[in-house]
Structure 1
Amino acid sequence: MPAKRGEIEQGVGSEGVIIRDEMVYLSPTGGTLRLVAPEKSRARTDTTIAQVVPGETQRRTEDNTGVRLVPEKPGVVSFTVDGLERILTPSSWVDFDAKKVSELVSNPVSVKSGMQVETGRTLFRVIDNYRVYVLVFPEPGITPSVSRVLTEGRKCTLRFDSVPGRLCSAKIVSRVDSTRDDPKPSALLLELTDYPHELYYLRHVHAKIITGTQRGIIIPKQALVKGKDGYLVYIPANLGVDSKPVTVIAGDESQVMCEGLREGQRVVVNPYVVHEAGITVWR
């Protein structure tokens, strides 16, 4: 496989949870539910989102009979709730560490137009789409230089595994350090400044906080061979292979960036085959 020129994102992996400023609305009475506003539509304080028609008039759902439900604050409408809306809030995040967050169970439930509802049944939520947060717990091993970058007020870029092909910008609102003697972030509260609609529904997430981008010559990670004095790769040559030392300057889960190779230079992607098949290593 030829080495190619490309880029590798450097950053910090983290497990996290989405926290939204959202208000949940319950049915004020029993009856037939009629949904008025579309899912993911933006509602004003005078927008009718849903209507509950009492049992004795449930057949007259086309007129104005029934209880109209309007939001107290404007926002984005969703008829799917997961039961964590009142537990995870922008003010309650300080009560959660990585263990407590991992124990939270998200159980999404949706309502549909025409269904019978009882008094107190959860019907929908209205999300303040200007206040969406993610509480992240960075993986261990953060270098001091990266730790100094992850400070309150700094802007950063996130990549969510569950939202492929999309970068999200954010601002670090708050930081909790591991200990006073080990000032590395154990938790970060990030306020998203732009985000895809998937975050209206996601709860538990894995995110990478991107701290920089390296550009250079890239090869697959499995092409590396650990030698006595560092890393090397095998290059096809004269019915055998040459061993060529390389210096790894960056990497991610699947590829590494190396010095010591030219663009287009072919490397053996599965170096273990060289020894299993008895291929000659010239040097």
Structure 2
Amino acid sequence: MKKQLKKTVKCVMASICLLSGISFNSSMIEAAFAQQANAKDYQNHVYKTQIQYAVDHKLMWLFPDGNFRPEQPITQADLVAGLVNAKALTAGTAVEGLPAGHWAKIFYERAKKDGILDDVAINPNKVLTREEASLLMNNAWKSMYSRLRDKRQVYSDIAVGNGWIPKKAGKFANGVPTSTSDGLGTVTRGEEAAALYLLNKDVKDTKIGEEIALKFHNSLKSSNGYLVGTVPTMQGKDIRLIIRLKNQNVESYYGGAVKVNASQVDYMAFSVKNSGQAKLLAYYTYNSGTNLTRTNSR
């Protein structure tokens, strides 16, 4: 197939060269194919791994020439589509203000339902500042982390602090100089890929954490005055149950069966993390051993 393609291209190029008076040889064909084969422009990029991940997992795309254009600034529609893909969102709701027939319509609808568009002025073709991109990123992550749900004034600072975008000297959106959290510059496609890589990983890890937490919750029972259950174990995960008794003693469980006098339980906390990491994948609290209602405290 490849040999036949080269033969066809060779014939076409020969015809063009004859008509235009340009000299022609087979090395031109080889050069053309080599150029196409090496068209990817991110092979030596600092975010090569994240870009490849974004492309492989269909979070972002290559252009028809095989390039990614990692230094190209992103538009609002670019980032909205990427965040929706990274979170694997499928449900949407109507969005006003989009140009008729805009390619990102379905992504905006899904983003709106998820809260990604909260406090965002719809302008899909606008090249985003770092502050504007940071607001969208914060909105995408806030459904997983309660600490991100409070409205802030400087979102670029939050984005840099969480590693969603790299540190960059410049100015905040209000013009105040900063050495790390520029809000006025743009965000590149390479930087977007790095953020989407982190978001997609967080979404997948959180799903696993929530499944583990639910498994533990479903195992909890009150039997003959005792609270019984099972703390799951999983390789690569730090899973623990902390029980504070009314006498202020604390008991910790890292796996296996749990049996404790329910009337003596003052407070329980169940958490899931990746081993060796501080980020919580799931965190639920129980205010007593007799009421098994849990609260998502992550």
Which TM-score band (shorter chain)? under 0.3
TM-score, normalised via structure 1 length: 0.26
Would you tell me which structure has more helix in proportion to its own residues? 2
More strand, by proportion: 1
TM-score, normalised relative to structure 2: 0.25
